[in-house]
Structure 1
Amino acid sequence: MGRQRQPQIRQRLLVACTDYSLEHGLPDRLEPLATAAGTSSRMLIYHFGTRDGLLREILGQARQRQLQAFTDLICLRPDEPYPITLARAWSAISGPEGAPYLRMFSRLHDTAGEPLWPGFRRTATTDWLAPLEAGMHSLGRPELATVVLAVIRGLLMDLDATGDVPRTHQAFHDFLSTIDSARERA
């Protein structure tokens, strides 16, 4: 008779592996994850089936953390203009708080990441549209949510590729000025 699976141990391992992966990126081997979780590679396989199974679950948990943290940042606040909300959100998303997610998820935005998370590119886009539409609705332009998302994603890709923080921050603030001046004219 086999040993009973223990969900609390599995969850503890997943949290430790996710923490490690957000700090260091997804490893190519199980050993760094096992060390970070204080267990063996064999136990990780026991709890998650395969290396890719574990990586999928790490990505899923990291995505949930990202959604919780950043959805709140881009949601409309009744006490401030939406461009100010977007500026604060950009600072977090493009700063140290967002860096682990950028590092982890950037490799899923190309086709090489497709086997680990089929459909990630679509999900990573559509997750943010509703709160951006609500925010842009406050400016009378909900249809610009797609443009806002495209600018954020494009500048994050630029930041990831170049590391040029001043230039990408200036570009985002220039974009916000454009939105704000369009709102003032309307």
Structure 2
Amino acid sequence: MGRQRQPQIKQRLLDACTDYALEHGLPDRLGPLAAAAGTSSRMLIYHFETRDGLLREVLGQARRRQVEAFTDLIRLRPDEPYPATLDRAWSAISGPQGQPYLRMFGRLHDTAGEPLWPGFRRTATTDWLAPLEEGMRSLGRPELATVVLAVIRGLLTDLAATGDTARTDQAFQDFLATIVTRG
């Protein structure tokens, strides 16, 4: 009779693998993840069944961390005008705090990511609409939530492609100015 799987060990391994993947990206082989988790590739397979199974769980955990952090950044605060909230959120999302997530999930936005996370592009497009809509409602313009999300996503794509922080930051400031003017 085999040993019982221990969920706390699996979670510890998943945490270590997720930390590694956020810092270095998803590796092609299990070796780097095993080393980061202080275990063997064989033990990773034991707990996650396949390499793709492990990678899916790593992506899922990283996405949960990102959604939690970024949703908190864009949520409406009673003591702050919403454009100021968006400005602060943009700095975090496009800066060092957001870079690990942008690197990791960047490849999932194209069709290459479909095998690991079917439907990721749709999920990544819609999961922040509700808090953005609530924030934009404070300006009397909840219908602009999709526009705000599209601008953020577009500028993040631009930033990832060009590395031009100054230009994308200025573009976001210009966009915020139009919200304030229209609000």
Shorter-normalised TM-score: what interval? over 0.9
CA distances 1:17-47 after superposition (whole Å, capped 9, x unpaired)? 0000000000011000000000000000000
**Runs of 4 or more above 3 Å deviation:** none
Aligned to 2:123: 123
Query: Given residue 70 of structure 2, which amino acid in structure 1 is its aligned partner?
Result: F
Query: Given residue 141 of structure 1, which amino acid in structure 2 is its aligned partner?
Result: R
What's the C-alpha RMSD, in Å, of the aligned pairs? 0.5
Is residue 2:69 matched to residue 1:69?
Answer: yes
Deviation of 1:182 after TM superposition, in Å, equals 1.0
Is residue 2:27 matched to residue 1:33?
Answer: no
Deviation of 1:125 after TM superposition, in Å, equals 1.1
Is residue 2:149 matched to residue 1:149?
Answer: yes
Deviation of 1:3 after TM superposition, in Å, equals 1.1
Instruction: Give the Cα–Cα distance (whole angstroms) in 2 for the partners of residues 88 and 131 of structure 1.
Output: 15
Is residue 2:90 matched to residue 1:90?
Answer: yes
Deviation of 1:157 after TM superposition, in Å, equals 0.4
Deviation of 1:79 after TM superposition, in Å, equals 1.0
TM-score, normalised relative to structure 1? 0.98
Aligned pairs, number: 183
Aligned to 1:168: 168
Secondary structure of residue in 1 paired with 2:96: coil
Deviation of 1:89 after TM superposition, in Å, equals 0.2
Instruction: Give the Cα–Cα distance (whole angstroms) in 1 for the partners of residues 182 and 8 of structure 2.
Output: 52
Deviation of 1:132 after TM superposition, in Å, equals 0.2
Instruction: Give the Cα–Cα distance (whole angstroms) in 2 for the partners of residues 10 and 182 of structure 1.
Output: 50
Structure 2 spans left out of the alignment, 5+ residues: none
Secondary structure of residue in 2 paired with 1:131: helix
Aligned to 1:57: 57
Instruction: Give the Cα–Cα distance (whole angstroms) in 2 for the partners of residues 80 and 15 of structure 1.
Output: 34
TM-score, normalised relative to structure 2? 0.99
Query: Given residue 96 of structure 1, which amino acid in structure 2 is its aligned partner?
Result: P
Is residue 2:49 matched to residue 1:46?
Answer: no
Aligned to 1:178: 178
Query: Given residue 67 of structure 2, which amino acid in structure 1 is its aligned partner?
Result: L
Query: Given residue 19 of structure 2, which amino acid in structure 1 is its aligned partner?
Result: D
CA distances 1:56-91 after superposition (whole Å, capped 9, x unpaired)? 000000001001111011001111111000000000
Instruction: Give the Cα–Cα distance (whole angstroms) in 1 for the partners of residues 8 and 64 of structure 2.
Output: 18
Instruction: Give the Cα–Cα distance (whole angstroms) in 2 for the partners of residues 56 and 17 of structure 1.
Output: 11
